[in-house]
């Protein structure tokens, strides 16, 4: 067995970036290997059941797959003496209201920002292509000939470009996707002038969710990196900070409160939440509504399965949404239900006073409907897959 966890991922991977940042901030010693390592195809992929990253191999050999599952598992080890346990501050703010906000921004970072991350990577070849090709082949084609490496990159990039289109990036929507990212960068830049991390002086699920696309795509790929540095230097500095093991906040004068005040989190955070509502609420609402219809048409769906002919698939259909005044067709991925449930579970755990504070905050920022947007069945993670839990009981006459 290995003395330290092994992270299988790659520098350009959004979800790997989330785990890597968490491991560094928690000062958990780890070794990173890429999917091009022969051990990945011979040992990890067969055990997980599909080619997917990130995967964390624990010192006892146990495999964890999915960035959120990995972070949650490591958080659960915090109070024990288990090898690989976190030693840094918890990713969950101690205040319940802030914990809901953290999980909301985690959802938005990994899912809501995926469209911009894919567009800014794959639709600016003049600036990006040479870098991306070098980056991908270094991670995926270790030990291969130049021709083999080129074929591997062509296959990977072809799939990713198709995915970008499938999640709504088209010539018609691209200008709006670009406007959306610029708006977000400016809002984040203003917010980070006041605080080193999104919810105070401590990194949380909010930061780990956003660092995925912000580091792997938007701060590394040449075209969006240039944009970030020009219009949002505080965001680029935060990306650096999120990859440092210490607080790395010397550019803030005086002590920074560990956490924002949930009763009065400040206008810059509320502006950020309003942006999330306008940018992503229609998207997640359409996903939940489509999924509920899909489940209603499958009353016989067995708990512990996902109802797909190939269980490793992650898409159940397509839905057209109205996004920034434009029709946009996008894939429906149940994984987003899993991430939404984490927000709602945190909200459901609040006491009456905390819930009143949260409801007022979400009402002010246009997010109130997010808390009642429920799926007919819970989505669970079992055997490295997203599967449906038991059908909810219905009341009889």
Per-residue pLDDT in tens (0 to 9) along the chain, 397 residues? 578 999 999 999 999 999 999 999 999 999 999 999 999 999 999 999 999 999 999 999 999 999 999 999 999 997 554 445 566 789 999 999 999 999 999 999 999 999 999 999 999 999 999 999 999 999 999 999 999 999 999 999 999 999 999 999 999 999 999 999 999 999 999 999 999 999 999 999 999 999 999 999 999 999 999 999 999 999 999 999 999 999 999 999 877 899 999 999 999 999 999 999 999 999 999 999 999 999 999 999 999 999 999 999 999 999 999 999 999 999 999 999 999 999 999 999 999 999 999 999 999 999 999 999 999 999 999 999 999 999 876 544 3
How far, in Å, CA of 93 to CA of 262, rounded? Answer: 10
Contacts of 381 (CB under 8 A, 6+ apart): 66, 69, 338, 387
Match 């840094």 to its residue by tokens. Answer: 88
Digit-coded pLDDT (tens) for 319-346:
999 999 999 999 999 999 999 999 999 9
Report whether 84 contacts 58 (CB < 8 A).
yes
Can you read off the two tokens belonging to residue 316?
């159940």
Instruction: Characterize the bridge pairing of strands 31-33 and 6-8.
Output: parallel
How far, in Å, CA of 371 to CA of 385, rounded? Answer: 25
How far, in Å, CA of 246 to CA of 356, rounded? Answer: 35
The pLDDT, as a whole number, for residue 390 is 92
Match 């489509």 to its residue by tokens. Answer: 290
Q: Break the chain into its structural domains and give their ranges.
A: 6-76, 96-123+172-371
Record the pTM. Answer: 0.95
Phi, psi dihedrals of residue 45, rounded to the nearest 5°: -60, -45
Report whether 26 contacts 74 (CB < 8 A).
yes
The pLDDT, as a whole number, for residue 81 is 44
The pLDDT, as a whole number, for residue 1 is 59
Task: Output the 3-class SS for the chain.
Answer: CCCCCEEECCCCCHHHHHHHHHHHHCCCCCEEECCCCHHHHHHHHHHHCCCCCCEEECCCCCEEECHHHHHHHHHHCCCCCCCCCCCCCCCCCCCHHHHHHHHHHHHHHHHHCHHHHHHHHHCCHHHHHHHHHHHHHHHHCCCCCHHHHHHHHHHHHHHHHHHHHHCCCCCCCHHHHHHHHHHHHHHHHHHHCCCCECCECCCCHHHHHHHHHHHHHHHCCHHHHHHHHHHCHHHHHHHHHCCCCCCCCCCCCCCCCCCCCCCCCCHHHHHHHHHHHHHHHHHHHHHHHHHHHHHHCCCCCCCCCCCCCCCCCCCCEEEEEEECCEEEEEEECCHHHHHHHHHHHHHHCCCHHHHHHHHHHHHHCCCHHHHCCCCCCCEEEECCEEEECCCCCCCCC
**CATH 3.40.30.10 is the classification of domain 6-76:** yes
Digit-coded pLDDT (tens) for 37-87:
999 999 999 999 999 999 999 999 999 999 999 999 999 997 554 445 566
Q: Report cis status (omega within 30 of 0) of the bond before 114.
A: no
**Helix axes of 174-192 and 233-241: crossing angle, nearest 10 degrees:** 70
Can you read off the two tokens belonging to residue 112?
């809501």
- Side-chain-side CA neighbours of 319 within 13 Å: the count stands at 21
């Amino acid at each position: 067995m290995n003395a330290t966890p092994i992270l299988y991922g790659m520098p350009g991977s959004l979800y790997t970036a989330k785990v890597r940042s968490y491991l560094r901030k928690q000062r958990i010693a780890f070794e990173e290997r890429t999917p091009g390592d022969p051990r990945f195809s011979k040992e990890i992929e067969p055990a997980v059941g599909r080619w997917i990253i990130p995967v964390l191999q624990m010192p006892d050999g146990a495999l964890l797959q999915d960035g959120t599952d990995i972070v949650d598992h490591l958080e659960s080890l915090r109070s024990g003496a288990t090898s690989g346990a976190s030693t840094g501050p918890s990713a969950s703010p101690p205040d319940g209201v802030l914990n809901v906000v953290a999980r909301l921004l985690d959802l938005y970072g990994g899912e809501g920002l995926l469209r911009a991350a894919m567009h800014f990577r794959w639709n600016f070849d003049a600036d990006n292509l040479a870098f991306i090709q070098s980056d991908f082949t270094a991670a995926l084609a270790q030990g291969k000939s130049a021709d083999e490496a080129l074929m591997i990159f062509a296959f990977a990039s072809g799939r990713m470009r198709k995915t970008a289109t499938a999640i709504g990036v088209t010539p018609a929507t691209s200008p709006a996707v670009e406007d959306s990212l610029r708006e977000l960068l400016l809002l984040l830049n203003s917010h980070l002038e006041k605080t080193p991390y999104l919810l105070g002086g401590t990194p949380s699920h909010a930061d780990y969710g956003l660092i995925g696309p912000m580091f792997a795509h938007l701060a590394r790929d040449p075209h969006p990196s240039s944009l970030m540095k020009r219009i949002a230097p505080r965001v680029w500095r935060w990306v650096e900070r999120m990859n440092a093991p210490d607080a790395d906040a010397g550019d803030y004068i005086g002590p920074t409160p560990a956490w924002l005040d949930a009763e009065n989190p400040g206008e810059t955070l509320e502006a950020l939440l309003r942006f999330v509502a306008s940018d992503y609420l229609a998207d997640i609402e359409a996903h939940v509504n489509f999924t509920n219809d899909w489940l209603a048409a499958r009353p016989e769906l067995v708990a512990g399965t996902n109802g797909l002919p190939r269980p490793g698939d992650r898409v159940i259909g397509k839905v057209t949404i109205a996004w920034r005044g434009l029709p946009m067709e996008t894939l429906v991925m149940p994984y987003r239900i899993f991430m939404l449930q984490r927000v709602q579970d945190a909200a459901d755990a609040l006491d009456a006073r905390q819930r009143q504070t949260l409801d007022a905050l979400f009402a002010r920022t246009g997010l109130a409907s997010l808390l009642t947007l429920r799926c007919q069945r819970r989505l669970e993670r079992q055997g490295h897959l997203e599967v449906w839990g038991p059908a909810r009981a219905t009341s009889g006459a």
